[in-house]
Chain A
Amino acid sequence: MPEASSTKLASTADFDRRDLDWYIDKVVQLIVFFAGISAIIFIIGIFVFITMEGLGFLFEDFTFKEFFLSPFWEPSDEDAPEYGILALIAGTASVTGLAMIVAIPFSLGAAIYIGEFATGKVRETLKVLVELLAAIPSVVWGFIGLSIMNPLIIDLFDVPVGLNVLNAGVILGLMAAPIMTSIAEDALKAVPDRYREAAEALGATRWQVIFKTVLPAAKNGLLGAVLLGVGRGFGETMAVLMATGHAVNIPGSLFDPVRALTATIAAELGETAVGSPHYQALFTIGIFLFIITFLINLTADLIVRGIRKG
């Protein structure tokens, strides 16, 4: 019975082909699953590897009191090295703080203008410009601080050196503002149009709609934008390395040079021996930075999610 056997053969081949596709499908599903969880693996990996490198310091030379409360960062002192990051925290905090004072009003103002007032071509153009501003690399910003802001500050305020809190704060503010503007504009866009329509139907002007309806509704998203800006300023490296003056110092005025946590790692890692206490202390600063930014990002995420649910 040749006919029957050939039918049987055909159906087996059919079955095999489907079978192969089925297996391919499962294998692909497995591959993309592992790719999907790679972000989690990397985050854990980052924490594990920097902790591993910093572990020796944490067990031997690390004391909580000295590390967080001493303003002396003198890791290369032969006799009595000191590993205090208080001045570095003060440096990072002062620069980030000034950057936020510069960036928050402008980025929120710009977000409101782009999101609520501007229309059509103007709006598109402004959005593109903001996106391009956000793309300028941080080393270029640092160079701008060094070569353009520095002489400008010396001229304007009659100080001997222009690399200080003011310089780095303004640079960092200009850097963070475009990113905060886009996130804040997204938060305004997330407010449903029916809120605006309802307010307008009651006779509110555009400004009243924004001030009484849109802003309260977008409050959490805007706060999230600000927090992400803070995280950004906190973690910025090259710009603060080049524009702060890089002197370990608790600043007393805008014109004092400071040194940031991130910049310390960038400046010193190259000149330390792998495995030395100094090297491990730099990784310990890394752990601290990782935890702080993790908490900032987590908080921002929770705040933004909060409104989505509500």
Chain B
Amino acid sequence: MFAESDLNARNKRVQGLFRMLFLMMTVLLIVPVAIILFTLVSKGGGVISIDFLFTNPTDGMTAGGIFPALLGTVWIVAVALLASVPLGVAAAIYLNEYAGDNWFTRLIQLAIINLAGVPSIVHALFGVGAFVIFFGFGTSILAASLTLAIMTLPIVIVSTRESLRAVPQAFREACWNMGATRWQTIRRIVLPNAISGILTGVILEVSRTAGETAPIMFTGAAFFLPFLPQGVFDQTMAMSLHLFVVATQVPGVPEELPFGVALVLIAMVLIMNSISIAFRMYLRGKKKW
């Protein structure tokens, strides 16, 4: 048996100390947010009811429900997905299945990183300049959704690419050896094996799109509308902007109303994210190769 030297004991103490320190830091990162979420639930929970979700705001938005905003967010997210999912998946297919490892691919990757890093308000300016004015869509669901689609494109591309990369190369080679073209291989072998991973990324994008405010403020979302949108060229209310409006722009709002709106918004986003994470874990457990 070896006796423990002084140095060894000291090292162990130092290690234990740092382990505790880092654990504390992690806990301190999470606890304030837990407290905040708890406050949101305790203050806003009382407001939420089926009526709150499915009726119009009344009395100059100081009472009533959030239905037009909820429906508007669904519109905006749906149209944004229609634009960004096909484009993002195709871009990921190019990057993973066709592009070589060269300066041009690096350039595309740099553009994707930057697209994700450009401030959301700059995306809003772009949306105003390009979709509202230049293409003449006006302030509409279409303009807002396209702005968001471009902003969230990197999420789809990156997650799709990850799931394409996870399909073993041997699958492709086997298929090529049968005489299939590249596209036949991608359609019959690669995409079916990657589809659930792609879906995970899409759910993540839904949650991100639903929560964004700045890009839709000037491109299609309105403070208040007395009617529901009928098509993509109409303006609409949206959950995220509605929270901003009832929290800062409308006088005489009862204190708990914005808490209720915030709670619904955060619940939407966190539920979407949790589904995405759960789905990913399920897939990881199921993987056969």
A joins B in a complex? yes
Cross-chain contact A113 with B247 (CB below 8 angstroms): no
Q: Size band of the B side of the interface?
A: 35 or more
CB distance from A289 to the nearest CB of B (A): 5
From 95 to 140 in chain B, residues with beta carbon under 8 angstroms from any chain A beta carbon are 95, 97-99, 107-108, 110-115, 117-126, 128-130, 133-134
Q: Does A178 contact B (CB under 8 A)?
A: yes
Cross-chain contact A21 with B15 (CB below 8 angstroms): no
Assembly CA distance A144 to B33 (angstroms): 10
From 50 to 78 in chain A, residues with beta carbon under 8 angstroms from any chain B beta carbon are 50, 52-53
Assembly CA distance A45 to B86 (angstroms): 20
Q: Does B207 contact A (CB under 8 A)?
A: yes
Cross-chain contact B277 with A128 (CB below 8 angstroms): yes
Per-residue interface assignment for chain B, residues 58 to 90, with 1 indicating a CB less than 8 Å from any chain A CB and 0 otherwise: 000000000000000000000000000001101
Cross-chain contact A53 with B128 (CB below 8 angstroms): yes
CB contacts (< 8 Å) of B211 on chain A: these are 135-140
Q: Size band of the A side of the interface?
A: 35 or more
From 245 to 262 in chain A, residues with beta carbon under 8 angstroms from any chain B beta carbon are 262
Cross-chain contact B30 with A297 (CB below 8 angstroms): no
Segment of A5-13, A83-91, A191-199, A228-236 in the binding face: A228-236
Cross-chain contact A35 with B94 (CB below 8 angstroms): yes
Cross-chain contact A45 with B130 (CB below 8 angstroms): yes
CB contacts (< 8 Å) of A135 on chain B: these are 207-208, 211, 269-270, 273
Cross-chain contact B36 with A144 (CB below 8 angstroms): yes
Residue of A nearest to B154 (CB): A39
Residues of A within 8 A of B (CB): 21-22, 24-25, 28-29, 31-33, 35-40, 42-43, 45-46, 49-50, 52-53, 105-107, 109-110, 112-114, 117, 126, 128-133, 135-140, 142-144, 146-148, 174, 177-178, 181, 205-208, 210, 228, 231-232, 234-238, 242, 262, 265-266, 269-270, 274, 282-283, 286, 289-290, 293-294, 296-298, 301
Q: Would you give 21 A-B contacts (Cβ < 8 Å), ordered by A?
A: A21-B183, A36-B99, A39-B115, A43-B114, A46-B123, A49-B134, A50-B122, A50-B126, A113-B19, A114-B26, A117-B19, A130-B29, A131-B277, A132-B277, A140-B262, A142-B244, A144-B36, A205-B11, A205-B12, A210-B18, A262-B214
